[in-house]
Amino acid sequence: MEKIKFAIPAGSLAKATFEILQRSGYKVSGQERTYRPTINDPKIELKILRPQEIPVFVSEGLQDVGITGQDWIRETRADVEVLQNLEYGKIKLVVAIPKGLSARPISALMEALWSKGKNFRISTEYLNIAAEYIKSNPAYRKRFGKSEPLIVTPWWRKGENPRAKIFLSFGATEAKPPENADCIMDVTETGSTLEANNLKIIETVMQSSAVLVANKKALVDQQKKEKIYDILTLLKGVVDGSKRIHIFVNVKKTNLQRLLKELPALKNPTIAPLADENWCSVNTIIEKKRLIDLLPKIRKLAQGIVVYEPRQVLALDEISRREGNECAPKPK
């Protein structure tokens, strides 16, 4: 079988990506020295790429599967299959202006500049998202209709409306205002970097996190599809495991049915006899957020509780249904 080409991201997503791979049971080595680290699965070939590139390369079939940000899928307009939100690398794409300007929506900022005969300037790495965002603004549509904002890069220009200019930023975007831009569109986790550079957020464009994506043609190839879904199963198991806890309680048999009505189980709880024939042990997996509400009920009906976090929760039946396995049980 041809190896599955798996692209993993460099940069800010790298550390968390290697951590989730490790928690999934994969062992990756050599990432400090090479862009082609080794992995303990002979059917997978890893390659480290920039997250901006991964959606395009996966869409084009140069990589079969990859991890990237939702923001870069939207920016590149890549035609990929999103298999799983991995729920790390959470950021917001925002519009920010200098603190000295009064807080206002971007439409008011644009109108204020246009009314003075000035052009509106925005600096960003997200050229397509910025163009879409500006074009959809009611103030822009009222003045310019469907005309395209002018996108400016060192190599080419695109669009016909110089009254709204989008300048490509090569990083340090927060340094551009006020001399080189009236506002910026950039990503942030906490807003602290923007704050340190005398900027404030006025609008949130989108929220983003890391996702597992696949090439659509690779999912048609049965052998590749099976391996891609193996990867999905292990990664999803870590995501699900982080949200759930495994609990063990001892309960009198006379209280068993009352307890079972209160316990939401992943499927059905496991019930085992104890040395005292009047008691039994119940173990099940529940969502973390349910524990606080369930604890008073458990305390009244059971004796003792042991709680631990599972490393993974592998929802094999769900993955089989998504994969199209006819042997998988159908959802009720």
Residue 280 has pLDDT above 60, yes or no: yes
How far is the C-alpha of 104 from the C-alpha of 176, rounded, in Å?
Answer: 19
pLDDT at 316: 66
Put simply, whether the predicted model's pTM sits higher than 0.75 gets the answer yes
pLDDT at 331: 43
105 upstream amide cis, omega within 30 of 0: no
How far is the C-alpha of 180 from the C-alpha of 262, rounded, in Å?
Answer: 60
Length of the chain: 332
Each residue of 205-231: pLDDT tens digit? Answer: 999 999 999 999 999 999 999 999 999
Question: 332 falls in which pLDDT band (50, 70, 90)?
Answer: very low
Question: 290 falls in which pLDDT band (50, 70, 90)?
Answer: confident
Are 54 and 200 within one domain?
no
Are 217 and 173 within one domain?
no
CATH number, domain with residue 28: 3.40.190.10
Each residue of 83-136: pLDDT tens digit? Answer: 999 999 999 999 999 998 887 899 999 999 999 999 999 999 999 999 999 999
Q: Give start and end residues of each alpha helix (H) in the chain.
A: 14-23, 54-59, 70-76, 106-115, 127-135, 138-144, 192-196, 222-241, 256-262, 291-301, 316-323
Residue 330 has pLDDT above 50, yes or no: no
Are 29 and 64 within one domain?
yes
Are 151 and 228 within one domain?
no
CATH number, domain with residue 267: 3.30.70.120
- Mean local confidence (pLDDT), 195-213: 96
Q: pLDDT: is 97 or 321 the higher one?
A: 97
Residue 266 has pLDDT above 60, yes or no: no
Are 150 and 192 within one domain?
yes
Q: Which of 224, 241, 258 is the last residue of a domain?
A: 241
Q: pLDDT: is 219 or 297 the higher one?
A: 219
Mean pLDDT of the chain: 91
**What region, left, alpha or beta, does residue 256 occupy, with left being phi > 0 and alpha being psi -120 to 50 degrees?**
alpha
**CA angle (219, 317, 9) in 5-degree steps:** 45
In a domain? residue 62: yes
Percentage of the residues of the chain whose pLDDT score is greater than 70: 94
In a domain? residue 44: yes
**Number of domains within the chain:** 3
pLDDT at 267: 62
Are 97 and 184 within one domain?
yes
Expressed as residue numbers, the domain containing 290 is: 244-308
Residue 240 has pLDDT above 60, yes or no: yes
Are 19 and 47 within one domain?
yes
Question: 329 falls in which pLDDT band (50, 70, 90)?
Answer: very low
- Mean local confidence (pLDDT), 234-239: 94
In a domain? residue 322: no
Residue 56 has pLDDT above 80, yes or no: yes
> What's the half-sphere exposure (Cβ side, CA atoms, 13 Å) at 241?
16
2 burial class (0-12, 13-18, 19+ CB within 10 angstroms)? exposed
Are 62 and 101 within one domain?
no
How far is the C-alpha of 84 from the C-alpha of 125, rounded, in Å?
Answer: 25
Each residue of 140-186: pLDDT tens digit? Answer: 999 999 999 999 999 999 999 999 999 999 999 999 999 999 999 99
Each residue of 2-39: pLDDT tens digit? Answer: 899 999 999 999 999 999 999 999 999 999 999 999 99
Residue 241 has pLDDT above 90, yes or no: no
- Mean local confidence (pLDDT), 190-199: 93
How far is the C-alpha of 89 from the C-alpha of 329, rounded, in Å?
Answer: 34
Are 155 and 178 within one domain?
yes
Are 219 and 254 within one domain?
no
